Amino acid sequence: MLGEDKQKIINISKLILKSLFAISIAVVLISLPGMAKVVKLFETDKNYRNKFNREISRLKRNGYVKTYNKNGKIMLEITKKGIKLVKKYNFEEIKLRKEIKWDKYWRMVMFDIPENNRSARRSLRTKLDQLGFAKYQKSVFIYPYSCRDEINFISNYFNIEEFVNYIVAKRIDNEEKFKKFFEL
């Protein structure tokens, strides 16, 4: 388990990168309002500017961001490597919403991923299981609530979009078994 200070630094890095990604995916001024959340994390300490600048330097050193001067202002840009890290953070943190009332439709995720992508297939199965999907068949998982955006994101993350299908079904075989599984 990570120490509290180490975890705080990781959380700050995540927030800086996610803020940059959300604000522009391209270029952003450090002084923009979107960075206020990041700066606020440092305000409890007198030396927060130094810590903030150190964290930016660390992100630069690791190739996640780059800075440059434009019209006398310091610009901060997230790199492709930084975007990839943000996607990884988002992938790890993805959660499915559970509606208060079920609309009585089943969401089915079906996939036929070629053998040369077996690790992506295995990872997709693992992620669907972690998210609370029920296994309907070996390559078919179901969930009772809308999750198209999340499935699109996951498929894109693994670069297997062309092999994954999302289907909304009114009825399925063994429905009672799955209603019990999802406590519907």
pLDDT digits (tens, 9 = 90+) for 155-165: 988 889 999 99
Question: For position 62, what pLDDT does the model report?
Answer: 82
Question: For position 108, what pLDDT does the model report?
Answer: 96
Q: Are residues 113 and 174 in the same domain?
A: yes
Three-point CA angle 127, 26, 85, nearest 5°: 30
Task: Say whether pTM exceeds 0.75.
Answer: no
Q: Are residues 110 and 174 in the same domain?
A: yes
Q: Are residues 83 and 124 in the same domain?
A: no
State whether the Cα torsion 54-58-59-65 is positive or negative: positive
Q: Are residues 8 and 88 in the same domain?
A: yes
For residue 166, list its beta bridge partners: 109
Token reading at 86: 């943000």
Which residues, other chains included, contact 121 with Cβ-Cβ below 8 Å and sequence gap of 6+?
111, 113, 139, 160
DSSP string, 21-42: HHHTSSEEETTSGGGHHHHHHH
Q: Are residues 172 and 154 in the same domain?
A: yes
Token reading at 57: 């330097």
Q: Are residues 135 and 67 in the same domain?
A: no
Q: How confident is the model at residue 178 (pLDDT cuts 50, 70, 90)?
A: very high
Q: Which residue has the higher pLDDT, 112 or 50?
A: 112
> Is 140's pLDDT higher than 90?
yes
Last residue of a domain, one of 43, 75, 92: 92
- Domain residues for 120? 96-181
> Is 177's pLDDT higher than 80?
yes
Q: How many domains, in total, are found in the chain?
A: 2
Nearest by Cα to 125 from 140, 143, 114: 140
Buried b (16+ CB within 10 A) or exposed e, 87-105: eebeeeebebeeeeeeeee
CA 154 to chain centre: 8
Work out the average pLDDT over 48-66: 75
* Amino acid at site 100: I
* Amino acid at site 37: K
Instruction: List helix spans (H) across 94-174.
Output: 118-130, 148-158
